[in-house]
């Protein structure tokens, strides 16, 4: 399989391989956006009247860029040995990197749109080293050899004694072949997209139009209501609109809804098309994406916590999203891994079982945080109210927004405070929070690295304390903390969590 | 001072706080370190306030001297009285396989790091600390929150001994 992709060089060791030649084509594609950097130079040439130099300059720029890409390709080689990957790179300063198979947690495969057309893929080695820049990648080799490489490394890993160092590994080791845990059919994607209603896309387009307002060749901005009013006046539409303002209002609402639903469905389809979550011997593997397909593995032993996210509305239909917090991060922007984008709980439970995390059942008795957690919101509400009233007293009528907003914030924080709750399930802690977007964090005791018990001049007289857990790997959903619980309960929970660790 | 058992929520009895929570106090000499550090921060500020006063307020014919006096008095109070109070609110406990560090009063944080969860340990010493023979201990964990836990105000020998204790635990648990 690998012969198609990798050209063996005529070195002494015949095993040295190069990246796929199509990588050069990819470099040409990437040249497009990069040549924008060259625009100022072209403009400068134009303004100074040196028109004849523009074409040679652009030509030289392209030539140099291509030569650089060619040299980089020429000087990049890698070797897949018996138990390690060696990568040599760099044109002027050479870099030689050795990655033992033992240290590779998993191999991720990613394909962009152009890469898919060319049949190549970017291979990333997840080593668990801190920081994304420490992880090596091969950008790019043929898809076939990428998969072969992954199989080689995985075979090596499963060939060795599967010594589960961590006690949280599931005992009955699953069969060697991969099992499909979760998929998303187009129908499910459609439902998920409907719940994914969002007007964010509209805001982005609107902001974009604002930005390009001065650049547009015609004097009409779709997002400027005044332009629309002008048009309406031109055609006598304003009379019609005034006469039928109800119809106009309904039309506006319907079109807004349509845009919201369409953007929700589109983002869901682009991100999660052909979503597959498979259980492999050591990891959960997720492949997804319509244009950019990603293939990411979450090593089971590295899972630190599970986070169940839902929404106030979708909760009524039993839809949830499952994220796993792991030592390895998911791409550059996400800190945790979305392993189930949208499913009912009975579909999520098998996935949770694979990472040995239990979900509290419906009969679980929860303990509540003290209402004092609403204090921050209430202070904000008072601030908004006072600010607004001051503005009103200076004769600014817009200031009435202040008290209204304050009332809304205060009510929201008072209401939301009731949803801070927690439960100790023996081996793990469950923390729930949020009314608008309820999140349940399932944190195994064994994942906790350190415990903070915090109190301040407000919590202390009430006999309360806040527990904050230090957990490896980040989460975009905030720190793991149980706010404002009775001091004795906090100390007790801390002791139990620390005792659980001593066992492992 | 009192015969009654110390109440842990008495904000004016800082000595009782550590005792009630079973914590050891840090070296009192750390107050001098904090004092010098505070002075190095505040004296330039006070000088700045004096210059501002001399250049601007006198020029505006305002109440010259007020800001200068206030700045120096506040700086003196902060330098003289605050460091020893801050030091008395630091406490630590090493043992039972874990390191416990508590700090602060208005916002008190009580951190426990089990030795087995320590990734690596630093013992550091700044120039002011060296003058008083003190060091600080920094414990690194792999958690995102609390990735470093710092315990200042330790006698250098004690800091080294604590480092050795924690190091032994790391070795026995991961060897």
Interacting residues of A365 by C-beta distance below 8 A, sequence separation 6+: A423
CA distance B154 to B163: 11
The Cα angle at residue A124 between residues A136 and A161, in degrees rounded to 5: 95
A289 interfacial to chain B (CB closer than 8 Å): no
Q: Between chains, do B111 and A460 touch, taking CB under 8 Å as contact?
A: no
pLDDT of residue A169: 38
CA distance A97 to A204: 42
Find the CB nearest A471 among B109, B116, B144: B144
- pLDDT digit string (tens) for chain A, length 504 residues: 344 444 444 444 557 888 888 888 777 777 777 777 777 777 777 777 777 787 888 888 888 888 888 888 888 888 888 888 888 888 777 788 888 887 777 778 888 888 888 888 888 887 655 444 556 788 878 888 888 888 888 777 666 544 433 333 344 444 456 788 898 888 989 988 888 877 766 666 666 655 555 454 555 555 566 666 666 666 666 666 666 777 777 888 888 888 888 888 888 888 888 898 988 877 888 888 888 888 887 878 878 889 998 888 888 888 999 988 877 655 545 667 888 989 888 889 989 988 888 888 878 888 999 888 888 889 999 999 998 899 888 887 888 888 888 999 899 888 888 888 999 888 889 998 888 888 899 999 888 888 999 988 889 889 999 999 988 876 655 678 899 999 999 999 998 888 875 544
Distance of alpha carbon A57 from the chain centroid? 41
Distances from the Cα of A195 to the Cαs of A169, A189, A308, B162, in angstroms?
A: 34, 10, 16, 55
- Asked if pLDDT for residue B144 goes beyond 50, the answer is yes
Contact at CB, B117 and A450, closer than 8 angstroms: yes
pLDDT value of position B4: 45
Q: Residue A162 and residue A186: Cα distance in Å, rounded?
A: 37
Give me the long-range contacts of A229-234 (CB less than 8 A, separation at least 24).
none
Q: Give the pLDDT of residue A84.
A: 83
Q: Does A500 touch chain B (CB under 8 A)?
A: no
A461, A471, A498 member nearest B114 (Cβ): A498
Instruction: Evaluate whether B91 touches B17 at the Cβ level (below 8 Å).
Output: yes
| Contact yes or no for A449 and B98 at CB 8 A | no
Task: Quote the CA–CA distance of B128 and B37 in Å, as a whole number.
Answer: 8
Which of residues 316 through 345 in chain A touch B, CB cutoff 8 A?
A: 327
Q: Which residue has the higher pLDDT, A326 or B16?
A: A326
Residue A2: burial class (beta carbons within 10 Å; 0-12, 13-18, 19+)? middle
Are A401 and A390 in contact by the 8 Å Cβ rule? The answer is: no
User: Who wins on pLDDT, B69 or A395?
Assistant: B69
User: Does A206 touch chain B if contact means CB atoms closer than 8 Å?
Assistant: no
Contacts of residue B96 in chain A, CB cutoff 8 Å? none
CB contact at 8 A, A362 and A336? no
* The pLDDT value given to residue B14: 53
CA distance A138 to A175: 30
- Whether A502 has its CB under 8 Å from any CB of chain B: the answer is yes
Q: Judge residue A28's burial from the number of C-beta atoms within 10 Å of its C-beta, 0-12 exposed, 13-18 middle, 19 or more buried.
A: middle
- Residues A233/A235/A240/A241 CA torsion (nearest 10 deg): -50
Contact B144 A502 (CB under 8 A): no
Flag whether pLDDT at B72 surpasses 90. yes
Lowest mean pLDDT among A135-149, A237-251, B87-101, B150-164: A237-251
Confidence of residue B30 (pLDDT cuts 50, 70, 90): very high
Q: Which of B107, B108, B141 sits opposite A449 (nearest CB)?
A: B141
pLDDT at B8: 46
Asked whether the predicted pLDDT for residue B73 surpasses 90, the reply is yes
pLDDT class for B158, splitting at 50, 70, 90?
A: very high
DSSP letter assigned to residue A220:
-
Quick: pLDDT tens for A107-130. Answer: 788 888 888 888 888 888 876 554
3-state helix, strand, coil in chain A (%, to 5): 45, 25, 30
Average pLDDT over residues B107-136: 89
Q: Which of A449, A452, A456 is nearest residue B142 as measured by Cβ atoms?
A: A449
Kindly identify which residue of chain B lies nearest to residue A130, measuring between CA atoms. B142
Contact B107 A456 (CB under 8 A): yes
Mean pLDDT (chain B) is: 83
Model confidence at B154, pLDDT cuts 50, 70, 90, reads very high
What count of residues does chain B have? Answer: 175
A449: chain B residues, CB-CB within 8 Å: 113, 117, 141-143, 146
Q: How many CB atoms lie within 10 A of CB A470?
A: 24
Enumerate chain B positions whose Cβ falls within 8 A of a Cβ in A: 9, 97-98, 106-114, 116-117, 141-147, 149
What pLDDT shows up at residue B40?
93
Option in A461, A468, A470 nearest B141 (CB): A470
Distance CA A288, CA A283 (A): 16
Residues 429-448 of A with CB under 8 A from B: 448
């Amino acid at each position: 399989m690998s012969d198609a992709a990798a050209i063996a060089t005529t070195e002494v060791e015949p095993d040295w391989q190069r990246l796929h030649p199509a990588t050069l084509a990819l470099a040409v594609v990437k040249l497009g956006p990069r040549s924008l950097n060259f625009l100022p130079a072209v403009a400068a040439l134009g303004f100074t009247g040196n028109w004849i130099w523009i074409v040679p300059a652009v030509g030289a720029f392209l030539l140099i860029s291509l030569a650089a890409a060619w040299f980089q390709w020429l000087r990049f080689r890698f070797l897949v040995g018996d138990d390690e990957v060696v990568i040599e790179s760099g044109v002027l300063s050479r870099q030689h990197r050795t990655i033992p198979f033992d240290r590779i947690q998993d191999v991720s495969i990613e394909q962009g749109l152009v890469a898919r057309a060319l049949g190549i893929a970017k291979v990333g080695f997840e080593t668990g080293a801190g920081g994304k820049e420490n992880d090596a990648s091969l950008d790019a080799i043929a898809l076939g050899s990428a998969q072969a490489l992954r199989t080689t490394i995985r075979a090596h890993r499963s060939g060795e004694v599967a010594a589960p160092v961590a006690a949280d590994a599931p005992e009955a080791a699953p069969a060697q072949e991969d099992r499909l845990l979760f998929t998303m059919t187009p129908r499910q994607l459609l439902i998920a997209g409907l719940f994914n209603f969002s007007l964010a896309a509209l805001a982005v387009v609107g902001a974009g139009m604002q930005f390009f307002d001065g650049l547009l060749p015609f004097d009409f901005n779709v997002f400027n209501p005044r332009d629309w009013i002008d048009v309406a006046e031109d055609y006598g539409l304003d009379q019609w609109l005034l006469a039928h303002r109800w119809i106009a209002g309904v039309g506006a609402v319907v079109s807004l809804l349509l845009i919201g639903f369409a953007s929700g469905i589109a983002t869901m389809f682009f991100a999660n098309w052909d979503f597959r979550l498979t259980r492999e011997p050591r990891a959960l593997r997720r492949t997804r994406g319509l244009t950019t397909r990603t293939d990411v593995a979450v090593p089971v032993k590295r899972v630190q916590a599970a986070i169940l996210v839902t929404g106030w509305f979708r909760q009524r239909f039993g839809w949830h999203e499952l994220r796993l917090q792991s030592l390895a991060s998911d791409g550059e922007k996400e800190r945790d891994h979305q392993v189930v984008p949208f499913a009912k709980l009975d579909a999520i439970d098998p996935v949770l079982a694979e990472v040995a995390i239990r979900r509290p059942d419906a009969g679980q008795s929860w303990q509540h945080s003290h209402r004092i957690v609403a204090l921050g919101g209430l202070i904000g509400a008072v601030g908004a109210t006072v600010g607004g009233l001051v503005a009103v007293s200076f004769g600014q009528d817009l200031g009435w927004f202040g008290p209204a907003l304050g009332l809304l914030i205060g009510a929201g924080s008072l209401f939301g405070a009731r949803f801070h709750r927690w439960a100790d399930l023996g081996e793990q802690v469950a923390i729930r929070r949020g009314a608008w977007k309820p999140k349940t964090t399932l944190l195994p005791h064994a994942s906790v690295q350190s415990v903070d018990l915090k109190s301040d001049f407000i919590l202390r007289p009430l006999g309360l304390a806040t527990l904050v857990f230090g957990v490896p790997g980040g989460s975009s959903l905030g720190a793991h903390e149980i706010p404002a619980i009775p001091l004795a309960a906090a100390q007790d929970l801390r002791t139990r969590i620390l005792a659980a660790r001593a066992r492992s | 001072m009192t015969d009654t058992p110390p109440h842990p929520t008495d904000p004016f009895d800082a000595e009782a706080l550590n005792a009630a929570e079973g914590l050891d106090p840090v070296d009192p000499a750390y107050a001098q370190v904090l004092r010098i550090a505070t002075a190095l921060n505040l004296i330039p500020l006070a000088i700045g306030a004096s210059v501002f006063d001399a250049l601007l307020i006198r020029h505006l014919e305002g109440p010259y001297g007020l800001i200068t006096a206030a700045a120096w008095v506040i700086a003196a109070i902060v330098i003289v009285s605050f460091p020893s109070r801050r030091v008395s609110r630091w406490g630590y406990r090493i043992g039972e396989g874990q390191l416990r560090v508590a700090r602060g009063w208005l916002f008190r944080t009580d951190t426990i790091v089990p030795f087995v969860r320590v990734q690596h340990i630093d013992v550091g010493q700044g120039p002011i600390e060296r003058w008083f023979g003190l060091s600080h201990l920094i414990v690194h964990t792999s958690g995102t929150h609390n990735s470093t836990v710092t315990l200042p105000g330790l006698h250098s020998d004690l800091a080294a001994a604590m480092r050795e204790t924690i190091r032994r635990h790391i070795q026995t648990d991961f060897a």
